[in-house]
Amino acid sequence: MSNPKSQISNAKPKVLLGMSGGIDSTVSAMLLLEQGYEVIGVTFRTYDSMKESCIAKEKGCCTIESIMEAKHNAEKMGFEHHIVDFRETFKRCVIQNFIDEYMSGRTPNPCVLCNSTIKWGEMLHLADEMGCDFIATGHYARVAEKAGHVYLRMGADTKKDQTYFLWMLTEEQLKRTIFPLGDYTKEQVRKIARQHGYEKLAVKKESQEICFIPNDDYRSFLRTHVPDYKERVHAGEYVDAQGKVLGMHEGYVNYTIGQRKGLGIALGHPAYITHIDAKTNRITLGTNDDMWATELHFRPFAIRPFGLSPLTAKVRYRSQAVPVKKIDGNCIEFATPVWGITPGQSVVLYSDDLVVGGGIIQ
């Protein structure tokens, strides 16, 4: 689906573009306008970062500064722009899930849930209200058709590909989605920004932090947002695979699977966190060899292979996709061992460069 515009008869189809104020969504607007779309910009207020101003300087995609920059860029390019307040929805759907997952001993990926519930779920509702045919975002991904079905496809820039965060999108959502940057590399996007006079934006450093976590410190966030934190989080035992007590830790939520540094314990050899038990407040330590596994369990799972094979899977955003041996119920078995399988993260299935499914690791 290289040109969704051809699907409709309108001479100038309308697109609702999600704008963050950053280079990717701004260049997306430029490309859509050049391709003849009527663009309407929208920026979501998802988190009241002003409340955290005493903790950290505002930055990211949902700050007042970025929202106003998005509005300024839309006005500069001559199209309509709206700011929509989704803070309550975001708090209920994304932030609460983030808190619940960490307090259950898992490591969540809030961007996956935000994309499906906010950036697509809510944007499509707005698109219908505004009479827009499509929605668009600045993600590095593509939409493709194969054998009569619509799939999410990896972006041309494999270093920036963001399909790992988008696996929850449904076929119906993808049919109305445009990814203007899908065929571009990041460097090409920066070049386009410079050509249009956005030099400052072209060199602006990108934030890799979770938008609602000041200073990328999720531990402090939990301490201030979980009412009974002190009752639930306290010192507990480090144990080995046989249950032998090795020492003490500062509370299970302060650690993640695969963590090696900052454990506060010396065993005479590199130790890694291999398991976190929130109910017993016990953390299991092991060696690097213990971090490898050939299978995982997941919940709830969406898969649309339609006969496509062979399959590969990614268990982390930056990890390499590995061959899938078989899928049996809620279990995936890999052809080769995988390092650092982490409950709460996503496992995403691919057939070549097409996304055919995904799930939350248990």
What was the pLDDT predicted at 59?
A: 47
What was the pLDDT predicted at 205?
A: 81
pTM for this predicted structure: 0.91
What was the pLDDT predicted at 49?
A: 58
What was the pLDDT predicted at 9?
A: 44
Would strands 272-277 and 282-286 be described as parallel, antiparallel, or unpaired? antiparallel
**Of 62, 93, 132, 211, which is the active-site residue?**
211
What was the pLDDT predicted at 2?
A: 43
Q: Consecutive sets of 10 residues in the chain, 362 residues long: mean pLDDT of each? A: 45 92 97 98 83 42 84 97 95 97 97 95 96 98 94 96 97 97 98 96 83 89 96 97 98 97 96 98 98 94 78 94 94 97 97 95 97
User: Catalytic residue at 211?
Assistant: yes
pLDDT in tens, 132-186: 999 999 999 999 999 899 999 999 999 999 999 999 999 999 999 999 999 999 9
User: Catalytic residue at 132?
Assistant: no
Render the burial of 247-280: b for 16+ CB within 10 Å, e for the rest. eebebbbbbbbbbeeebeeeeeeebbbbebebee
In order of their start, the domains of the chain are 10-216 (3.40.50.620), 234-286 (2.30.30.280), 292-361 (2.40.30.10)
**Of 93, 111, 114, 132, which is the active-site residue?**
114
CA distances from 135 to 130, 162, 181, 189, 223 (A): 11, 17, 14, 20, 37
Please name the residues in contact with 118: beta carbons below 8 A apart, sequence gap of 6 or more: 44, 46, 86, 89, 90, 93, 94
What was the pLDDT predicted at 34?
A: 97
Q: Are 102 and 94 in contact (CB under 8 A)?
A: no
